[in-house]
């Protein structure tokens, strides 16, 4: 059938298998051209199907020729609806990896559960013996913990209500949006879902089962962003969760002294997770414009291949005073932020297409779902039922 995008505010309810394949192929081609050289051999990627996790899997697989096991939570097509983009991305990734003789297997299920942790451990034991790198790139709205408690993540402030300009994604107009303060249980819920507890549980489970090298590298992803978005991000519920994640890296290093545990603070980019944060999409559209003009705009694949090439596998890993790797260095540079603040003050519905890269924002958005990719014939019939080779 012919598949078209169906956009509802910050989500697209369809995905295009051929477009997702093209997207993955373009990322593979980029990574191969980077000549990364040093890297891991057996990499477990938790949250491997879209955004930063997919870019990490592609960088490990095609930049370092590493074997990868990818964990994610995606839906296959049921014959009526398309699969989710992460499903199609993974099918394409595995096919390309197998063609290149690179090991790639995947597990689709709830990474927070004991069942998926056990399944992963069994697979590592059977196929690898031990993993030498674990990338933690989950972005989830809720988590059932190992005791059966359900936690829900919120995107709210932790102090007073916050009102700012925002992009109404339904019609590209500038509106004012108020984000309400969270109740204590919402702060707690966000920390439980997006903090470091589950990352620690993964590492402990892998250690207990003896399926992770003693000096393995583990990296989780965080975000800080500019002062402009502090009330909703850095000082908001999600920021509290990220501080917990960052602290977890320290606790891990103390508990397992030979383990190299890092948090990498990445750049703001349009992904399924970040498009849902209020106020932030307008910041993205302005940031894209400024960074493209300055000449240092990056997408997920550029960020992660730079992380591998210039940070993770150096003699000593460069970090800030808090021990974090700063991949947001270019985003937070004085020049970029000064220009972003100037544009933010000026932006209105009338000038939003000139002042911000709203077109670039939407191109990234559509491409996440496999649409608007050059070289794909969207008028052709495609089969939406696609198999991931390693999943029955
Ligand atoms: P994303 O939505 O593109 O990816 C999320 C991944 O998690 C997908 O592979 C999805 O299948 C998986 N997932 C979600 N729930 C799951 C579950 N219960 N079990 C198994 N897998 C599950 O998100 P992203 O933006 O790439 O975010 C990844 C990480 O990077 C997050 O920690 C995020 O905070 C961080 N980060 C994002 C940005 C940004 O601007 N996008 C910036 C800095 C850091």
Sign of CA dihedral 188, 194, 195, 201: positive
Active-site choice (30, 233, 283, 366) = 233
What per-residue confidence (pLDDT) applies to 278? 79
CA nearest ligand 1 atom 42, residue: 268
Cα of 138 vs centre of ligand 1, distance in Å, is: 4
Pairing state of beta strands 173-179 and 162-168?
A: antiparallel
100-115 pLDDT per residue, tens = 999 999 999 999 999 9
Neighbouring residues of 237: CB distance < 8 A, sequence distance ≥ 6? 153, 154, 155, 156, 157, 158, 182, 186, 187, 190, 191
Region 155-169: mean pLDDT is: 93
Region 297-322: mean pLDDT is: 96
Q: What is the percent of the chain where pLDDT is above 70?
A: 100
pLDDT band at 227 (very low <50, low <70, confident <90, very high): very high
On the 0-12 / 13-18 / 19+ scale of CB atoms within 10 A, 9 is exposed
Q: List, chain by chain if needed, residues with CB within 6 Å of any ligand 1 atom.
A: 47-53, 71-74, 86, 110-112, 137-140, 221-223, 266, 268-269, 271-274
Pocket probe mutation, ligand 1, options 199, 218, 271, 330, max atoms within 8 Å of Cβ: 271
What per-residue confidence (pLDDT) applies to 349? 96
pLDDT band at 343 (very low <50, low <70, confident <90, very high): very high
Name the average pLDDT for the chain: 96
CA nearest ligand 1 atom 38, residue: 268
Q: What is the distance between the alpha carbons of residues 303 and 309, in angstroms, rounded to a whole number?
A: 10
pLDDT band at 73 (very low <50, low <70, confident <90, very high): very high
What per-residue confidence (pLDDT) applies to 78? 94
**pLDDT at residue 231 above 80?**
yes
pLDDT band at 242 (very low <50, low <70, confident <90, very high): very high
Q: For the chain, how many residues are written?
A: 392
353-385 pLDDT per residue, tens = 999 999 999 999 999 999 999 999 999 999 999
- Catalytic site includes residue 233: yes
Nearest to 388 by CA among 88, 167, 31: 88
Runs of H (alpha helix) within 295-333:
300-306
**pLDDT at residue 243 above 80?**
yes
Cα of 228 vs centre of ligand 1, distance in Å, is: 23
CA nearest ligand 1 atom 5, residue: 139
Cα of 273 vs centre of ligand 1, distance in Å, is: 6
């Amino acid at each position: 059938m012919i598949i078209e995008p169906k956009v509802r505010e910050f989500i697209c309810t369809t995905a295009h298998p051929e477009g997702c394949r093209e997207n993955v192929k373009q990322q593979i081609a980029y990574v191969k051209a980077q000549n990364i050289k040093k890297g891991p051999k057996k990499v477990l990627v938790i949250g491997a199907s879209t955004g930063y996790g997919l870019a990490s899997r592609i960088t490990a697989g095609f930049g370092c020729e590493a074997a990868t096991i990818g964990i994610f939570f995606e839906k296959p097509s049921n014959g009526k609806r398309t699969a989710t983009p992460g499903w199609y991305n993974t099918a394409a990734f595995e096919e390309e990896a197998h063609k290149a003789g690179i090991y790639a297997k995947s597990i689709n299920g709830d990474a927070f559960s004991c069942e998926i942790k056990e399944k992963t451990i069994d697979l590592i034991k059977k196929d690898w013996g031990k993993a030498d790198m674990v990338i933690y790139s989950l972005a989830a709205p809720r988590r059932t913990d190992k005791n059966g408690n359900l936690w829900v993540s919120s995107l709210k402030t932790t102090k007073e209500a916050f009102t700012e300009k925002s992009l109404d994604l339904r019609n590209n107009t500038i509106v004012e949006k108020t984000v309400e303060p969270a109740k204590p249980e919402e702060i707690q819920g966000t920390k439980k879902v997006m903090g470091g507890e589950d990352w620690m549980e993964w590492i402990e489970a892998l250690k207990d089962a003896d399926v992770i090298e003693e000096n393995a590298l583990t990296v989780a992803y965080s975000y800080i962003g500019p002062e402009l978005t502090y009330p909703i991000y850095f000082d908001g519920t999600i920021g509290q969760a990220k501080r917990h994640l960052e602290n977890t890296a320290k606790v891990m290093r103390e508990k397992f002294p030979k383990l190299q545990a890092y948090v990498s603070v990445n750049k703001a980019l349009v992904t399924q997770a970040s498009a849902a944060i209020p106020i932030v999409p307008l910041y993205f559209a302005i940031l894209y414009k400024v960074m493209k003009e300055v000449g240092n705009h990056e997408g997920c694949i550029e960020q992660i291949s730079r992380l591998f090439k210039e940070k993770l596998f150096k003699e000593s890993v460069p970090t800030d005073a808090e021990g974090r790797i700063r991949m947001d260095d270019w985003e937070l540079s004085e020049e970029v932020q000064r220009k972003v603040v100037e544009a933010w003050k000026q932006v209105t519905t009338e000038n939003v297409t000139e002042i911000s890269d709203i077109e670039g924002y939407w191109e990234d958005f559509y491409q996440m779902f496999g649409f608007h990719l050059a070289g794909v014939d969207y008028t052709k019939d495609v089969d939406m039922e696609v198999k991931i080779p390693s999943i029955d």
